[in-house]
Structure 1
Amino acid sequence: MAEKRVTSSGIEIKPVYKAEGGEVPGEFPYTRGVQPDMYRGKLWTMRQYAGFSTAEESNKRYHYLLQQGTTGLSVAFDLPTQIGYDSDHELSEGEVGKVGVAIDSLMDIEILFEGITLQNITTSMTINATASILLAMYIALAKKQGADLKQLSGTIQNDILKEYAARGTYIYPPAPSMRLITDVFAYCSTEVPKWNTISISGYHIREAGSTAVQELAFTLANGKAYLQAAQSKGLDINVFAKRLSFFFNCHNNFFEEIAKFRAARRMWAHITKGLGATDASAQKLRFHTQTGGSTLTAQQPLNNIVRVSNQAMAAVLGGTQSLHTNGYDEALSLPTEEAAKIALRTQQIIAFESGVTDTVDPLAGSYFVESLTDEIEAAAQIYIDKIDAMGGSVKAIEQDYMQREIAASAYQYQKDIESNERVLVGVNRFTEEAVHLKDVFRVDDSIRTHQVEKLKHLKAQRVKSEVVLLLEQLKVAAAGDENLMPYILRAVEAYATLGEIADVLRSVFGEY
């Protein structure tokens, strides 16, 4: 028998409320949620995003977050790691460990997760152009820990299309980049079946300045492109579509964000069904949400606690499966431990004190929310139809269509702030003389020296002839049409570096 839920006044709360003949949560088209009982059955995963400086420093933060009650890790990587350069490369200077952790080889991944059993946690890795290499390193460590790879779970972002459209950390041209992504799909579907092989990301599209409707439309259009690319490789949509997840932003307009999430599930259900998905799990849009980094202000930074709470509540009312809440100081620096803890406590208060988890889709049936959901869907569909007419997302990106639309929205938003058409509390209204936070997090430039020393030591210790042979085999495979994941995995297990592997692929694919 299900656990009984009551209000503080003793009023019993039903698991779900619906009109006669109304839509049921957990049933097609999933507007009301992907599970029939949603958070009454299982809360969302409370993730905290961390990764800075060296693997040693990030490992300390992971242990701290796990002690505070976080239920999933989320890894940020530094810029050189994202674009396939080792820490000793000349282009890495000034960037090592700055916006995430520096990972040069399997040795760094071993240090990053020291004392953490990979089979017992879920890990989300925010990495795209080098996703196949980082995933191979994670699998290699899991093997060394004796994990059952069939039980290994987590998510790799692996969404290169939004890099071309909004973010910029691509390496290779679109066609070979799409090949690497579909190679990951195919490899994981048999070897690591519980792994989410892509997190199709609207987050960065929104951070670049898009509207909520553009975020939804461009993300789903990209998702559709990945489905079609996988199908063209002969993969079964009923198998691989179950392992796709999405990553959305949650911005300030409370009801628009809730409606966006509800519309996303419904639209994706119809897109997958239209491409042949008959299995319910292949039609469901499951997503991670992060509160809006670009909404945080350096002015009056404690106001950001309220913004993050508002956004987190909207994500929960919208039915997210996983949530990351930003630190209040992130407009100034990477979050301090205190800011990360308050961000996590925000989620825990929503989960255990607010009562919003007691019933499924609490805002369903609201005239406003239902109407807004329909209007957002209709507006997003117009964009998707335009992109389809161009030949899909890859063609739309090559023609700069998405980039131009995002740029125009970003420009308009900035104009609205500067003209006071849009109020930003503490920035253009209710301002005060700046009070600077004393405790801000800074990453020391000396860590590059530390990483370079580790690389020298690694190269002296490993079997050089084995590395050379495995990199040559990878090069031959890249020039053909074999799945590259087994070759990349063997290379990382021999301690070939991320930069060496990326350079081999650059030599075959070229750079974009």
Structure 2
Amino acid sequence: MGIEQANIKASDMLKKGVDSLWFKIKANMSFTYEEFHALLKNIWTKDIQINFIAYHHALGIISYWKQLLKSEGQSYNDLRATLNFDPLGHLTIYGHFCGCCRSSVEAFDNAARITREAQEFKNIRTLAVTARHFGNAGSSIVQELAFGLSMGVEYLSQLTQRGLSINEVAPRIRFIFGIGSNYFLEIAKLRAARLLWATIVKAYNPVSDEICKIDIHSVTSDWNKSLYDPYVNLLRSTTESMSAILGGAGSIEVKPFNSIYESPTSFSERIARNQQLVLKEEAILDKTVDPAAGSYYIESVTASIANEAWKLFLKTEEKGGYYLAMKEGFIQSEIETTANKKDQAIANRRETIL
């Protein structure tokens, strides 16, 4: 899709209730300031969050934002945006770093450079921890949480070694978790993530508790979606969205019900938007703050998941951290074992996909 078509589609989505937009800039395409300006023409306001997956363009986009805001007389604090630079996530999926990062040293150098350049902005998240890849590969909830935290700690460790403070790095990280159909456990997973990330960041002696707060973006799962009963996928993604909201996600992405087997249609995209709008405007779930607090069951499950995830997190750290554990094959082996057990249980009808 070209720049003009993307701008037209984004404008249309905003008119239909969306308040956060994602743009993926391919690594092999050019992306000038003029194209950046054309992409955001008539769509960016301080009420809209703009998210990019931009690879090596991330550094340029920061300078583009500065230029655009200055030209329009806007404050840097008016901007809510993410860049989602995640070399470890790329390594996890493809087995190698993205084109702009030929080695781990270069990957973390680039992450530090991008984060340093964004310090003038209060509300830009430069780095992403894309933990949803684990769930989509068949991991358990505990594994997704533990390995996601380990990835986040890898960024903290590597960037603080490069001269950035915890106060400069932690507020720039965004966690992207998948949400499956195990309703209460998924709520508990996100609550446990908040608890454990705060514990980790506090160990670095941040200037305030505000630095310890986690930013979570949740995406409905791909693992449990069906080709044979696609409309049941609507029910799955609706309950997943509720889990994400009740668990404390800051933003959610509902994938269209047919996205696993074809390009989403205008109909499936409209339904995905409306699922979120119904939960927001009719169920009024956006007005609640930790509604699960005080529930004995959810509190106990949260504690249980947090304890088990912490054990696996420490085991991963004993391997030298996320990057070395990935190189060794430890993370892949753990997830493969769990995924095979799930597949076998489903094949033998000991487990059902809800």
Give the TM-score taking structure 2 as reference length: 0.90
What SS does structure 2 have at the residue aligned with 1:114? coil
Q: How many residues align?
A: 351
Q: Which residue of 1 aligns with 2:84?
A: 157
Q: Are the aligned partners of 2:19 and 2:47 in contact in 1 as well (CA < 8 Å)? A: no
* Pairing 1:423–2:352 present: yes
Q: Distance in 1 between matches of 2:20 and 2:256?
A: 17
* Pairing 1:179–2:109 present: yes
Q: Which residue of 1 aligns with 2:12?
A: 64
1:146 Cα deviation from its structure 2 partner: 5.4
What SS does structure 2 have at the residue aligned with 1:59? helix
Q: Which residue of 1 aligns with 2:28?
A: 85
1:400 Cα deviation from its structure 2 partner: 2.0
* Pairing 1:188–2:124 present: no
Q: Which string of whole-angstrom CA distances, capped at 9 and with x for unpartnered residues, describes residues 21-52 of structure 1?
A: xxxxxxxxxxxxxxxxxxxxxxxxxxxxxxxx
* Pairing 1:170–2:113 present: no
The amino acid that maps onto 2:19 is T
Q: Which of 202, 207, 210 is the matching residue for 2:131?
A: 202
Provide closer, same or farther for how the CA distance between residues 250 and 54 of structure 1 changes in structure 2, counting only shifts above 3 A. Answer: same
What SS does structure 2 have at the residue aligned with 1:197? strand
The amino acid that maps onto 2:114 is V
Q: Distance in 2 between matches of 1:131 and 1:183?
A: 10
Q: Distance in 2 between matches of 1:416 and 1:373?
A: 25
Higher helix share: 2
Q: Which residue of 1 aligns with 2:295?
A: 366
1:104 Cα deviation from its structure 2 partner: 4.8
Q: Which of 168, 186, 189 is the matching residue for 1:239?
A: 168
The amino acid that maps onto 1:333 is E
Q: Which residue of 2 aligns with 1:256?
A: 185
Q: Are the aligned partners of 2:224 and 2:353 in contact in 1 as well (CA < 8 Å)? A: no
* Pairing 1:124–2:47 present: no
Q: Which string of whole-angstrom CA distances, capped at 9 and with x for unpartnered residues, describes residues 312-368 of structure 1?
A: 000111011111111112122232222222212111211232254554322222222
Q: Which string of whole-angstrom CA distances, capped at 9 and with x for unpartnered residues, describes residues 92-114 of structure 1?
A: xxxxxxxxxxx654444333323
Instruction: Note the residue ranges of structure 2 that are not aligned, 5 or more in a row.
Output: none
Q: Distance in 1 between matches of 2:137 and 2:70?
A: 38
1:118 Cα deviation from its structure 2 partner: 5.5
The amino acid that maps onto 2:15 is Q
Q: Distance in 2 between matches of 1:413 and 1:109?
A: 44
Q: Which residue of 2 aligns with 1:112?
A: 39
1:231 Cα deviation from its structure 2 partner: 1.5
Q: Which string of whole-angstrom CA distances, capped at 9 and with x for unpartnered residues, describes residues 112-140 of structure 1?
A: 32332365521112344654355555555
The amino acid that maps onto 1:170 is C
Q: Which residue of 2 aligns with 1:91?
A: none
1:192 Cα deviation from its structure 2 partner: 2.7
Q: Which residue of 1 aligns with 2:229?
A: 300
* Pairing 1:354–2:354 present: no
Provide closer, same or farther for how the CA distance between residues 332 and 108 of structure 1 changes in structure 2, counting only shifts above 3 A. Answer: farther
1:258 Cα deviation from its structure 2 partner: 0.4
What SS does structure 2 have at the residue aligned with 1:221? helix
What SS does structure 1 have at the residue aligned with 2:262? coil
1:274 Cα deviation from its structure 2 partner: 0.8
* Pairing 1:269–2:198 present: yes
Q: Are the aligned partners of 2:31 and 2:57 in contact in 1 as well (CA < 8 Å)? A: no
Q: Distance in 2 between matches of 1:418 and 1:129?
A: 43
Q: Distance in 2 between matches of 1:104 and 1:299?
A: 40
Give the TM-score taking structure 1 as reference length: 0.64
Q: Which string of whole-angstrom CA distances, capped at 9 and with x for unpartnered residues, describes residues 152-199 of structure 1?
A: 22111112112222355623211100110011111111x333211112
What SS does structure 2 have at the residue aligned with 1:125? strand
Provide closer, same or farther for how the CA distance between residues 357 and 60 of structure 1 changes in structure 2, counting only shifts above 3 A. Answer: closer
1:70 Cα deviation from its structure 2 partner: 0.8
Provide closer, same or farther for how the CA distance between residues 127 and 375 of structure 1 changes in structure 2, counting only shifts above 3 A. Answer: farther
* Pairing 1:392–2:314 present: no
The amino acid that maps onto 1:185 is T
The amino acid that maps onto 1:409 is T
Q: Distance in 2 between matches of 1:285 and 1:188?
A: 18
Provide closer, same or farther for how the CA distance between residues 107 and 359 of structure 1 changes in structure 2, counting only shifts above 3 A. Answer: closer
Q: Are the aligned partners of 2:62 and 2:118 in contact in 1 as well (CA < 8 Å)? A: no
Q: Which has the higher contact order (CA 8 A, sep 6+)?
A: 1
Q: Distance in 2 between matches of 1:253 and 1:205?
A: 16
What SS does structure 1 have at the residue aligned with 2:6? helix
Q: Which residue of 2 aligns with 1:280?
A: 209
The amino acid that maps onto 2:111 is I
Q: Distance in 2 between matches of 1:129 and 1:175?
A: 15
Q: Which string of whole-angstrom CA distances, capped at 9 and with x for unpartnered residues, describes residues 255-296 of structure 1?
A: 110000010000011100012224111111121111113322
Q: Distance in 2 between matches of 1:114 and 1:67?
A: 14
Q: Which residue of 2 aligns with 1:337?
A: 266
What SS does structure 1 have at the residue aligned with 2:263? coil
Provide closer, same or farther for how the CA distance between residues 282 and 261 of structure 1 changes in structure 2, counting only shifts above 3 A. Answer: same
Q: Distance in 2 between matches of 1:403 and 1:325?
A: 27
Q: Distance in 1 between matches of 2:70 and 2:327?
A: 39
What SS does structure 2 have at the residue aligned with 1:294? coil
Provide closer, same or farther for how the CA distance between residues 304 and 135 of structure 1 changes in structure 2, counting only shifts above 3 A. Answer: farther
1:63 Cα deviation from its structure 2 partner: 1.1
Q: Which string of whole-angstrom CA distances, capped at 9 and with x for unpartnered residues, describes residues 463-504 of structure 1?
A: xxxxxxxxxxxxxxxxxxxxxxxxxxxxxxxxxxxxxxxxxx
Provide closer, same or farther for how the CA distance between residues 420 and 127 of structure 1 changes in structure 2, counting only shifts above 3 A. Answer: farther
1:311 Cα deviation from its structure 2 partner: 0.3
